[in-house]
Structure 1
Amino acid sequence: MATPDLLITALTSDLDPAGLMPARQQMALSLGWHIVLACFGVALPAMIFWMHWRGVRRGDDTALLLAHRWAKVSAVLFAIGVVSGTALAFQMGLLWPGLMGTYGDVVGLSFAFEGLAFFLEAIFLGIYLYGWGRIDPRRHLWFVLPIAITGVVGTYCILTVNAWMNAPVGFDLVNGEVTNIDPWAVLFNPNAFWQFLHMWVAAYMVAGFSVAAVYAVGLLKGRRDRYHRLGFLVPFGFASVSAVLQPVVGHLLGSRLAETQPAKLAAFELATETDSGASPLRIGGVLIDGVVRYSIDIPYLGSLFARNSFTKPVQGLDTIPVEDQPPINMTHLAFQSMVGIGTLLALAVVIFWVARWRGHDLLERRLFLRFVSITGVLAVVALEAGWIATEVGRQPWIVYGIMRTPEAAGNNSGLWWLLGITTVVYALMTVGATIVIRSMARRWRAGEQDLPSPYGPRVETLASSEKPS
């Protein structure tokens, strides 16, 4: 059985528009880069709120200091996120004129609400940062909530568009014309809720593990003060809850694929044929010349995880026309990478908290701290792998079952220049943000409490004479 096994094969047809390949690469770069920043925009305000609340409620100066410093880091990440987010807003029409020209009225309301949420988030972030040392601490605390809420609302609105691409609703297609448009149906698409929930939990994993990893490195370097322990435990706690919940949320989302996107599910499970009974769970493996090789098959579990049944089989690729199949190996391996890393992180947090409950402090174990120091990277890899599985697994459709991806692209071969410029800009922003944040950390370790910033007030020292990172 021939399969569209390599993504490049599906993208080099002479019949495809000249703008298709650069549009794909540009979108992959922009989304892959921006989604990491979006995770911090969604999850970090909640962590700041918790730490600020702890500081106000308990009179904990260390917690207040952490909240203040995390807010400053959040501002840096938000600033560079503005650039990538704005670029994405323009790219949809530039890269995919066929999509936006046809369905812009259907998804336009979601984009509009996302833009509104973004501006409100920026306003309240500015108020919160400016309010340190100027507003009563108990009142100041509540300015974090609008930041957290608008970040979540904006993310939900964008994900409704992606959910719509996976399961289109809110319009009728009559003789090739889009009619009876209902943008509210896009915003309240049932599939959007589950996809958003999956991403929301993932955001807490990325932000939580990344922040905890910073303090794990500090602990490894011998900074064993309360500042580092508290700076580790709070974000690690958020990440722990998320890591344990994520397999459940992922299962609930994935169980809908049998009805909404059977080709994607078949690629996830590497199901080449529809079994007469329960399908096995395939761990690893690749499809070579239509034959699955190098996999470990566990009977029944494929049907249990994908169909919530020990008897219902996963619909195989043999029932799906070749031209409607996604790049199978890439989709399968990306999906399994996401699941494998997620399982590893969930296992690690369970071990940590069980050991802590039994009186064993793993923060004194260097091996555990070394592992935690890479969990942020692992969470980002799982996030990117999950989005690759989602987006590549939907191919060859940009709007599933209705519009193929080549139909959405234009003939502008000059988009390669845009891709090159974007790559350089994103690389410079990555280097710049890294330099700024490392400089902030270095000055904090040296004992500086108030880092001057343009047009900002000077803030009085918030905490003790500890020298945290």
Structure 2
Amino acid sequence: MLAPDVVTALTHLAAEAEPAGLLPARQQMALSLGWHIVLACFGVAFPAMIFAMHLIGIRRKDPVALELAKRWAKVSAVLFAIGAVSGTVLSFEMGLLWPGLMGTYGDVLGLPFAFEGLAFFLEAIFLGIYLYGWGRMPPKRHVLMVLPMAVTGVVGAYCVLAVNAWMNAPTGFRIVDGAVTDVQPWAVLFNLQTFVQFAHMWVGAYMLAGFTIAGVYAVGMLRGRRDAHHRLGFLVPFVFASIAAVTQPFVGHVLGFGLDERQPAKLAAFELAETTESPSPLRLGGILVDGEVKYSIDIPYLGSLIAMNSPDEPVPGLDTIPEEDHPPVNLTHLAFQTMVGIGTLLAAAVVWFWFQRRRGRDLLERRWFLRFAAAAGPLAVIALEAGWIATEVGRQPWIVYGVMRTPEAVGDYSASLWWLLGISTVVYTAMTVGAVVVLRSMARRWRAGDADLPSPYAPEVPAGEHG
């Protein structure tokens, strides 16, 4: 057995031998994914909310609901257009930044990426039909055009999640003499982990989109606009977000089943389990400093109960895992707890809202609640980003768990990657500013009474025709 100082020295040598392009590649991927994932959530969840609002308008003959559905569709088109740019960038980045991954496993991952591209184009087609169909199609047929948008958005997200789930639990191939053989791309699409990981992301998308949209109308009500338009605009997405917020803890718990066997280092980082304890405590906060847990609040037994579904079964500690296989523990732990903490807060808040509403108390008349509702959108974004950080950073040092380490996948052109990161930062900043300017301009014109924003290409709609 090697002495501890020898192991430490070898670990430092391995770190020094990492490719120079690894850090900029990681930063570039973090920027692109962290930015795109917010738009992807709207692509998954927004069509269902538009459908619900449009259906309310048709069934109740409610012009407010119909106008909201029309406006939301136009906002969705803006977000879709920007998401198309960031999604295209990500497609190129997979091959550019990680040639070792795509060169080796491209045959394995090709099918889900192909289906994702097809779903994207179909979503664009039906979004165009829906936007064009206002006043030009029978109402009941027109509203059905939203359903393919919703389905294709879900299918596209599922395909992307299938790739990520495969990276966490690879399947559908064999390696013979260093070559990938017996590729079964359908096994990637229907990997058991894909279903649960997708469910977690799908519910998270409804939380993010629902709380964000409701927050926009909460801000309007704080500014004195308490009409039917703002109340309905708040309540419909808030209903979706409420269901998602209450459901998410259960989905997340199911996703964690068996993590001690699949990725024990990730679980140990989540729980900040430096050593194996029986029973394991739940650690709130805390960081690992020189191999010692500090500044945490420990709740006895609860760690075993939540992570292992047992009052005394221990969470495997980092001491059972080779040091070279440890993820960045503090970042993984804090990101995981941020996700769980915000998710718990939002779930408790929606339960309180609906409980009070059932008792006849309208919290929409309380400014403190409206302020919280306005903050719920950004909080949901933070929770989603933190969840992805926990998932991706917790898998390190593997890009494909147990099969390929991240340094093996990166390209060897560090100087170019730093330039690419700088350019991407400028581009994403510009797109963010552009999106905010366009959406705020649309909102101002709607408040001024413009029912339809002018388009130089669309034919005029005869007076009196409504979708």
Post-superposition Cα deviations, 1:387-426, rounded to whole Å, max 9, x if no partner, equal 0000000000000011000000011121111111111111
CA contact (8 A) 2:353 2:363 kept: yes
Q: TM-score, normalised by structure 1?
A: 0.95
Query: What secondary structure, in the 3-state scheme, does the structure 2 residue paired with 1:373 have?
Result: helix
Amino acid at match of 1:303: S
Query: What secondary structure, in the 3-state scheme, does the structure 1 residue paired with 2:412 have?
Result: coil
Matched, 1:208 2:210: yes
- 2:176 matched to which residue of 1? 174
Post-superposition Cα deviations, 1:323-380, rounded to whole Å, max 9, x if no partner, equal 0000000000000000000001001101100000000000000000011111100000
Instruction: Write the distance in 1 (CA, Å) between the matches of 2:14 and 2:263.
Output: 25
Deviation at 1:14, TM superposition (A): 3.4
Which residue of 248, 251, 254 corresponds with 2:253? 251
Quick one: structure 1 residues 421 and 115, their matched pair in 2 at CA, closer, same or farther if it must change by over 3 Å? same
Deviation at 1:455, TM superposition (A): 2.5
Instruction: Write the distance in 1 (CA, Å) between the matches of 2:237 and 2:388.
Output: 23
- 1:346 matched to which residue of 2? 347
Instruction: Write the distance in 2 (CA, Å) between the matches of 1:309 and 1:390.
Output: 23
Amino acid at match of 1:255: F
Of 380-389 and 306-315, more deviation after overlay is shown by: 306-315
Which residue of 50, 71, 87 corresponds with 1:69? 71
Deviation at 1:15, TM superposition (A): 1.4
CA contact (8 A) 1:64 1:463 kept: no
Amino acid at match of 1:19: G
Instruction: Write the distance in 2 (CA, Å) between the matches of 1:272 and 1:448.
Output: 60
Quick one: structure 1 residues 185 and 78, their matched pair in 2 at CA, closer, same or farther if it must change by over 3 Å? same
Instruction: Write the distance in 1 (CA, Å) between the matches of 2:177 and 2:156.
Output: 34
Which residue of 113, 133, 136 corresponds with 1:134? 136
Mark the runs of 5 or more structure 1 residues left unpaired by the alignment. 465-469
- 1:299 matched to which residue of 2? 300
Amino acid at match of 1:334: A
Q: Give the length in aligned residue pairs.
A: 458
Describe how 1:121-270 pairs up with structure 2 within 5 A.
121-270=123-272
Deviation at 1:456, TM superposition (A): 2.9
Post-superposition Cα deviations, 1:31-67, rounded to whole Å, max 9, x if no partner, equal 0000000000000000000000111111111110100
Amino acid at match of 1:40: F
Mark the runs of 5 or more structure 2 residues left unpaired by the alignment. none
Which residue of 429, 432, 437 corresponds with 2:431? 429
Deviation at 1:463, TM superposition (A): 11
Deviation at 1:258, TM superposition (A): 1.3
CA contact (8 A) 2:135 2:465 kept: no
Quick one: structure 1 residues 206 and 159, their matched pair in 2 at CA, closer, same or farther if it must change by over 3 Å? same
Amino acid at match of 1:304: L
CA contact (8 A) 2:397 2:405 kept: yes
- 1:52 matched to which residue of 2? 54
Deviation at 1:18, TM superposition (A): 2.4
Query: What secondary structure, in the 3-state scheme, does the structure 1 residue paired with 2:16 have?
Result: coil
Q: TM-score, normalised by structure 2?
A: 0.96
Instruction: Write the distance in 2 (CA, Å) between the matches of 1:459 and 1:393.
Output: 54
Instruction: Write the distance in 2 (CA, Å) between the matches of 1:449 and 1:86.
Output: 33
Which residue of 79, 83, 102 corresponds with 2:81? 79
Deviation at 1:256, TM superposition (A): 2.7
Deviation at 1:383, TM superposition (A): 0.5
Query: What secondary structure, in the 3-state scheme, does the structure 1 residue paired with 2:275 have?
Result: coil
Q: Percent identity?
A: 73
In angstroms, what is the RMSD of aligned CA positions?
1.8
Query: What secondary structure, in the 3-state scheme, does the structure 1 residue paired with 2:283 have?
Result: strand
CA contact (8 A) 1:166 1:399 kept: yes
CA contact (8 A) 1:280 1:303 kept: yes
- 2:413 matched to which residue of 1? 412
Amino acid at match of 1:153: V
- 1:467 matched to which residue of 2? none
Quick one: structure 1 residues 462 and 216, their matched pair in 2 at CA, closer, same or farther if it must change by over 3 Å? farther
Quick one: structure 1 residues 93 and 59, their matched pair in 2 at CA, closer, same or farther if it must change by over 3 Å? same
Amino acid at match of 1:22: P
Amino acid at match of 1:59: K
CA contact (8 A) 2:123 2:152 kept: yes
Of 229-238 and 304-313, more deviation after overlay is shown by: 304-313
- 1:95 matched to which residue of 2? 97
Runs of 4+ in 1 over 6 A off after TM superposition: 9-12, 460-464
Amino acid at match of 2:215: A
Matched, 1:42 2:44: yes
- 1:389 matched to which residue of 2? 390
Deviation at 1:453, TM superposition (A): 2.7
- 1:283 matched to which residue of 2? 284
Post-superposition Cα deviations, 1:114-149, rounded to whole Å, max 9, x if no partner, equal 000000000000010010111111110000000000
Quick one: structure 1 residues 311 and 86, their matched pair in 2 at CA, closer, same or farther if it must change by over 3 Å? same
- 1:308 matched to which residue of 2? 309
Quick one: structure 1 residues 293 and 457, their matched pair in 2 at CA, closer, same or farther if it must change by over 3 Å? farther
Instruction: Write the distance in 2 (CA, Å) between the matches of 1:453 and 1:420.
Output: 35
Query: What secondary structure, in the 3-state scheme, does the structure 2 residue paired with 1:286 have?
Result: strand
CA contact (8 A) 1:19 1:415 kept: yes
